[in-house]
């Protein structure tokens, strides 16, 4: 039996045994909670030089120099929580999504994540369509920035010939919302571990994005240092037999953040591994760093992002981006944000190289 199969079997047996070992107490009536958000973006290409026609997903923007783009995205979340007679906590979560994509163009609402979970002193077990153990444990500028750094790729088509996948834009390959089994350990002395297993991309209940079984793992740590909050996260993923030569695609990252008196510094390094498409042996990596300051309803910050793609037998590609951002809370769940993104995609193929600036204004409503 392989190590991966042993890990999956051990996780399942441990969870089943823990379900029957909880002490008996009176059960309560399940409770339902509805929450969500809606965000609308107004973005303009101030200057975009060269570049190819927009490719990949999403395909609804990627305008030329001076073009105005209006995008929207929102989620409504339905959460149910309950408790069994023996004290075992359980829950169900559904998400309905309205967003700009090639299929709906923001005019329709569709289901997204749907999963069930059970929790006890032994940890938490999740079953269904939900982001995995690596995707949900991350310390980087992405957690702190008010304007998503990937937004430039949507509006201005920053993608080059190879720097096209999300993994090259500062995120390791993950299983997205594929139906999966995820186990979270209890947090002990600041540490918490997690493991996700996707048996196959064709599993019902979610949109399959992977060619075969998928594994995600993470270890996170949080503590207080000199009056501030320190967080560290180590993540890794394995997609079986997904590389061009039939080998596994492996990726990992390590990130940290430190927050004190309104200031927060975040950084992350990522080894994005070999691409699922392209030339065998191609490797990617990325890193980011950012600082922000919050005071009352205000928040401002700056972040730098650098991604590289080492190409077998050819010149390497590199992508650099600086984002200046700010936000103001109007109260009652409504926030307005603005940002200026400057990017430079130094693709080894001149026809695919792009550089320019994008201005973004975002209106966010949380409820």
Give yes or no for a contact between 104 and 72, defined as CB atoms under 8 angstroms apart: no
Query: Tens digit of pLDDT for each residue in 322-341?
Result: 999 999 999 999 999 999 98
- pLDDT category at 274 given cuts 50, 70, 90 is confident
**How many other β-carbons are positioned within 10 Å of the β-carbon of residue 262?**
12
Q: What is the average pLDDT across 11-37?
A: 66
For residue 76, the model assigns a pLDDT of 92
Q: Is the pLDDT of residue 298 over 70?
A: yes
For residue 116, the model assigns a pLDDT of 96
Q: Is residue 190 within a helix (H) or strand (E), and if so which, with residue range?
A: none
Name the most confidently modeled range: 89-103, 150-164, 185-199, 201-215. Answer: 185-199
For residue 186, the model assigns a pLDDT of 98
Q: How far is CA 196 from the centre of its chain?
A: 15
Across the chain, what does the average pLDDT equal? Answer: 79
Exposed / middle / buried, residue 20 (Cβ in 10 Å: 0-12, 13-18, 19+):
exposed
Number of helices (H) and strands (E) in the chain: give both, helices first.
2, 16
Rounded-to-integer distance, Cα 177 and Cα 162, Å: 25
Quick one: which of 1, 14, 2 has its CA closest to 195? 14
Q: Is the pLDDT of residue 17 over 80?
A: no
Exposed / middle / buried, residue 244 (Cβ in 10 Å: 0-12, 13-18, 19+):
middle
Query: Tens digit of pLDDT for each residue in 47-79?
Result: 665 444 443 334 445 555 667 778 888 889 999
Q: What is the average pLDDT across 357-366?
A: 92
Q: Is the pLDDT of residue 41 over 60?
A: yes
For residue 182, the model assigns a pLDDT of 97
- CA dist list (Å): 103 to 61, 71, 108, 150: 13, 14, 9, 20
For residue 263, the model assigns a pLDDT of 98
Question: CB neighbours of 226 closer than 8 A, spacing ≥ 6?
Answer: 260
């Amino acid at each position: 039996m392989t190590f991966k199969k042993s890990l999956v079997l051990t996780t399942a047996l441990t969870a089943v045994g823990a379900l029957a070992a909880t002490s008996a107490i009176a059960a309560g009536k399940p409770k339902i909670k509805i929450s969500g958000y809606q965000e609308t973006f107004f973005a303009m290409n101030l200057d975009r030089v060269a570049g190819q026609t927009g490719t990949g997903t999403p395909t609804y923007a990627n305008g030329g120099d001076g073009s105005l783009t209006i995008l929207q995205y929102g989620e409504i979340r339905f959460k149910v929580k309950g408790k069994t007679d023996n004290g075992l906590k359980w829950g169900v979560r559904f998400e309905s999504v309205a967003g700009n994509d090639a299929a709906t163009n923001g005019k329709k609402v569709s289901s997204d994540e749907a999963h069930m979970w059970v929790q006890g002193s032994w940890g938490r077990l999740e079953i269904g369509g939900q982001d995995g153990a690596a995707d949900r444990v991350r310390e980087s500028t992405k957690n702190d920035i008010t304007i998503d750094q990937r937004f430039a790729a949507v509006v201005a088509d920053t993608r080059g010939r190879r720097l096209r996948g999300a993994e090259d834009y500062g995120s390791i390959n993950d299983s997205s919302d594929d139906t999966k089994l995820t186990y979270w350990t209890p947090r002990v002395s600041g540490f918490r571990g997690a493991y996700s297993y996707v048996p196959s991309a064709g599993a019902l209940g979610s949109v399959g994005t992977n060619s075969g079984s998928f594994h995600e793992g993470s270890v996170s740590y949080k503590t207080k240092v000199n009056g501030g909050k320190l967080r560290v996260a180590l993540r890794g993923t394995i997609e079986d037999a997904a590389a061009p030569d039939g080998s596994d695609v492996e990726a990992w990252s390590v990130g940290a953040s430190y927050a004190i008196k309104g200031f927060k510094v975040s950084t992350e390094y990522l080894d994005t591994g070999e691409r699922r498409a392209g030339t065998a042996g191609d490797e990617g990596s990325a890193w980011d760093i950012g600082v922000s300051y919050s005071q009352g309803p205000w928040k401002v910050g700056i972040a730098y992002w650098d991604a590289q793609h080492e190409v077998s037998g050819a010149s390497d590609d590199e992508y650099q981006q600086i984002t200046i951002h700010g936000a103001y809370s109007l109260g009652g769940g409504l926030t307005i944000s603005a940002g200026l993104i400057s990017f430079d995609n130094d693709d080894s193929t001149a026809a695919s190289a792009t550089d320019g600036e994008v201005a973004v204004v975002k209106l966010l409503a949380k409820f």
